Amino acid sequence: MNIRLIKVTLFFINMSIVLTLMAASSAFFAPNSSLELETNIFQLLSIPLFAILISISLFQLRGIIRNIMDKRVLIRENVKRFKSISYILFLASIVNIFIPNILSLFSLNLRIISIPINVETILTFTLGLLSLLISDIFDSLIKN
């Protein structure tokens, strides 16, 4: 295995965690006067929550890469980490869909609710499915 490549990957994962948390904290200071106050509060809550969930999954990925560096690839710990990554990414996609639109879900007016599904939602859900698939593959390889 190329240890230098793994170290560079770990560096980029650590930087991604830092940048994601910085982006989440900057959402509280971003001026947006065109939105109503209640909608703005829910959007401000969804951005850091989404970023924290993504950071947790990146932290789990960092643990997997450290295990690979130690030449421990097919172990139960990696299966658990991949499963937790998938659950976290599923939760992040749900947060990305529903939290910004929570007022429209509970409003008293009877208009049609539009649920935005954007690229980030599709990407996080797809990555969650992929990590769940990888955890099942690792689990079946460990059993055999």
Per the prediction, the chain carries an average pLDDT of 78
Output the pLDDT for position 7: 75
Q: Can you list the alpha helix ranges (DSSP code H) found in the chain? A: 3-26, 37-69, 76-98, 102-106, 119-143
Residue 138 above 90 pLDDT? yes
- Which range scores top for mean pLDDT: 21-35, 68-82, 103-117? 68-82
- Give the global pTM: 0.73
Residue type, 24: A
Measure the CA–CA gap between 138 and 77, rounded to whole angstroms: 10
Output the pLDDT for position 69: 86
Angle formed by the axes of helices 37-69 and 3-26, nearest 10°: 170
CB 57 within 8 A of CB 89: yes
In this prediction, residue 35 has a pLDDT band, given cuts at 50, 70 and 90, of very low
Q: Where are the domains of the chain?
A: 3-143
In this prediction, residue 141 has a pLDDT band, given cuts at 50, 70 and 90, of very high
Q: What's the DSSP call for residue 111?
A: P
Output the pLDDT for position 5: 74
Residue 50, token pair as written in the block: 């989404």
Residue 49, token pair as written in the block: 């929550």
Residue 55 above 80 pLDDT? yes
Residue 76 above 80 pLDDT? yes
Question: Is residue 94 exposed (0-12), middle (13-18) or buried (19+ Cβ within 10 Å)?
Answer: middle
Residue type, 45: L
Residue 83, token pair as written in the block: 């499963």
